[in-house]
Amino acid sequence: MTYCVSDIHGNYEGYIKLLEKINLSEEDTLYVLGDVVDRGTGGIKILQDMMMHYNIIPIIGNHEYMAINCLKFLNQEITEESIAKLNEGVIQGLLEWQNVGGQATIDEFHKLNPEEKEDIIEYLEEFSSYEEVSVNGKDYILVHAGLSNFSPERPLEGYHISEMIFETPDYDRVYFQDKHLVTGHLPTRCIEGNEGQDKIYKANNHIAIDCGCACIDEGSRLGCICLDTGEEFYV
Ligand SMILES: [Mn+2]
């Protein structure tokens, strides 16, 4: 079976419960569509578990994109050289990351030993920007947020990462007649026509799966879809 989940945002307990709920076996594949880290306090712990599973495939989200550069910077020794590199861009990157919940990840990162820190940075650098899968003869494009500057003729490998992780797609628009676009990033409760519902959204060849697990109010959940059966799982 092929499963997709997104925007776990440091909710380690939810992640573990989900693995149990879908009963992820060695023959299954779980795609994680980005934003594993930040806000919640268990993002690094989730990454450490993910990297132990060859059948959990990570796709980059805007939070990982911000985290990579910042963690690399924080992981170097303080030398004249590193201080010289501390320019406005680096500082702004750190501040922006903190503004969106990066501090939880920084705190967790600081508790790791040097080898674990290296492993996390290396693992984050392995994340793909998107994945294409076929299940039961149906084609899916898995990407964190959407496809900015979309044109049906544009090859997927021609998109820059930044065009796939920040901008939400137009859920009223069919992007590909013959493919489904699976996305996270925007809690589905914010999609027009799905207001207030923390539920997987399916329409116009879109499958939106961020069920607001990072929102702390009641009802917010971690959603997961099985592409083979269409079955939805929530924790
Ligand atoms: Mn996001």
DSSP strand pairing (29-32 vs 201-203) = unpaired
Q: How far is the CA of 83 from the centre of ligand 1 (A)?
A: 30
CB contact at 8 A, 60 and 165: yes
Q: Among 116, 132, 135, 113, which Cα is nearest to 124's?
A: 116
Q: How far is the CA of 210 from the centre of ligand 1 (A)?
A: 9
State the pLDDT at residue 110.
95
Taken in order of first residue, the domains within the chain and their CATH numbers are 25-128 (3.60.21.10), 130-235 (no CATH)
State the pLDDT at residue 195.
81
H/E segment holding residue 62 = helix 62-74
DSSP strand pairing (131-135 vs 179-183) = unpaired
Q: How far is the CA of 9 from the centre of ligand 1 (A)?
A: 9
What is the per-residue pLDDT across 138-194, written as a single tens digit (0 to 9) for each?
999 999 999 999 999 999 999 999 999 999 999 999 999 999 999 999 999 999 888
Dist. CA 88–CA 34, nearest whole Å: 27
Q: How far is the CA of 167 from the centre of ligand 1 (A)?
A: 9
Tens of pLDDT along the chain (235 residues) come to: 999 999 999 999 999 999 999 999 999 999 999 999 999 999 999 999 999 999 999 999 999 999 999 999 889 877 888 777 778 888 899 999 999 999 999 999 999 999 999 999 999 999 999 999 999 999 999 999 999 999 999 999 999 999 999 999 999 999 999 999 999 999 999 998 888 789 999 999 999 999 998 876 777 899 999 999 999 999 9
State the pLDDT at residue 220.
83
State the pLDDT at residue 91.
87
Q: How far is the CA of 11 from the centre of ligand 1 (A)?
A: 15
Q: How far is the CA of 232 from the centre of ligand 1 (A)?
A: 21
Q: How far is the CA of 84 from the centre of ligand 1 (A)?
A: 31
State the pLDDT at residue 179.
97
CB contact at 8 A, 23 and 1: no
